[in-house]
Structure 1
Amino acid sequence: MSFGRRAFLSSLPVAAASLSLGTSIARADTSIPASDPRLSPRFIGRPDAPIHVDEWFSLTCTHCGHFAETVFPEVKAKLIDTGKVCYRFHDFPLDQLALLGAMVARTLPADRYFAFTDDLLRTQMQWAFGRDVDPIEELKKHASLAGLSASEVDAINADETFRQAIVSRQDKDQSFLEISGTPYFRINNTPADSTIALSFDAFNAALAKAH
């Protein structure tokens, strides 16, 4: 999905009282150390795999959701689980709801991150875009299945320092890598064409071309 990221983060897809970003984020303390486990890499597969794939995604990006639901299962089964690919995930939230989802995901133990984000991406149309649903309450339901209570999610949402840390990292990635849409992929640190997300064959062909 192409975007104007700041415009997305400035919009209020859910109640402002539930997700306060706005001007407060600019004043937030950014003193989270790089050693904070919430900011450590999130990946699946063998670290010594010959091919490293990095994906930047948003939990409310419909293209990311489609990729997670229709293409990634085959990527995981045939390339990651077989030791050919190490796959690393990068949070790139397009709006405040996705930002809170990323904060919740990174608060979980690292070994629960993939299952949680994969679940949210696959069920995106129900919890984030469903008719007559409160997306925050739906997010809390998913978080509870991962081991976090509603009050813990509220505490995560109130952590402006952590929120700013994710946004700051995102800003750096967008500026340095010139990311203009999600999902965005790099193969062995080389940008991949956006068609990589269309099918497993396209994904596998991109790997063969880059490797």
Structure 2
Amino acid sequence: MRASGPFKYASMSRRAALTAAALAAMVAVAGCSGGASGGAAAEGDMAKGAPEGAKVTVVEYASVTCGVCAAWQAQVWPEFKAKYVDTNKVRYVFREFPTSPQPVAVAGFLMARCAGPDKYFPVIEEIMASQPELLGGAPPRQVLLRIANGAGLSEEQFAACVTDEEAIKAMDTRIKAALDAGVTGTPNFFINGEKVSDPSMAGLSEKIDAILAAS
């Protein structure tokens, strides 16, 4: 999905733009599909549910600008969360992997992290839910700023978030780790390090329930 017109961020640093350009060259984003990777804990992981070391860890590599990711978030996540995450049966780990248009995705992820751990997931969900507007012609900065304001960030704080050199460097490190592991697109799901070919609720449950039932 692409929005009409250029994506220009008055408050986005050249470094962030370079990050996006590098990703554009490295990441295959033809409809959100990709490679294979493990799921060991990594610095910067955002997680919910069971603590680290849980019997089952589900890792999702996703982008706030990926339509398939947004569809999974809307259609599968509520049931998955209720059955496995809220009950602490599963540790769910979300890993950021910006896809086209990368400048928008990078800015969205940076802003979500600035909102704080307690608001990170709600912000991610709000950005994904706003994809029709965000990628449909509305000024991306305007949409993201509105979401940032809703999360308690001022315009000045938003501007600082998307120009934070240390935060951008940390995101670079996380993305490179994913690329090194073979991830080439989104969404990608892994259960205890094994790639999942069917991320539907039925497909995930089949594998998760078998592991939980094993002694």
**TM-score category of the 2 structures, normalised to the smaller one:** 0.7 to 0.9
TM-score by length of 2: 0.76
- Match 2:7 to one of 14, 19, 28: 14
Gaps spanning 5+ residues in structure 2: where?
Answer: 22-42
Shift, 1:13, TM fit: 5.2
What are the Cα deviations for residues 46-99 of structure 1, in whole angstroms up to 9, with x where unaligned? 216421111111110111111101111110011111221110111111111100
Instruction: Say if 1:82 and 1:18 are closer, same or farther in 2 by CA, change over 3 A.
Output: same
Aligned length: 184
Aligned to 1:53: 58
Q: Where in structure 1 do 4 or more consecutive aligned residues deviate above 6 Å? A: none
Question: Is the 8 Å Cα contact of residues 56 and 211 (structure 2) preserved in structure 1?
Answer: no
2:47 counterpart of 1:43: yes
Q: Secondary structure at the match of 2:169?
A: helix
Shift, 1:134, TM fit: 0.8
Which amino acid letter does the alignment assign opposite residue 92 of structure 1? F
Shift, 1:183, TM fit: 0.8
Aligned to 2:175: 170
TM-score by length of 1: 0.77
Shift, 1:151, TM fit: 1.3
2:90 counterpart of 1:97: no
Shift, 1:192, TM fit: 1.8
Superposed CA RMSD in Å reads 2.6
- Match 1:109 to one of 105, 109, 116: 116
Q: Secondary structure at the match of 1:43?
A: strand
Gaps spanning 5+ residues in structure 1: where?
Answer: 2-11, 27-38
Which amino acid letter does the alignment assign opposite residue 42 of structure 1? M
| Cα distance in 2 for residues equivalent to 1:18 and 1:52 | 37
Higher relative contact order (CA 8 A, sep 6+): 2
Question: Is the 8 Å Cα contact of residues 13 and 97 (structure 1) preserved in structure 2?
Answer: no
Question: Is the 8 Å Cα contact of residues 103 and 156 (structure 1) preserved in structure 2?
Answer: yes
What are the Cα deviations for residues 10-32 of structure 1, in whole angstroms up to 9, with x where unaligned? xx951164533345899xxxxxx
Question: Is the 8 Å Cα contact of residues 53 and 188 (structure 1) preserved in structure 2?
Answer: yes
Instruction: Say if 1:202 and 1:25 are closer, same or farther in 2 by CA, change over 3 A.
Output: closer
Q: Secondary structure at the match of 1:44?
A: strand
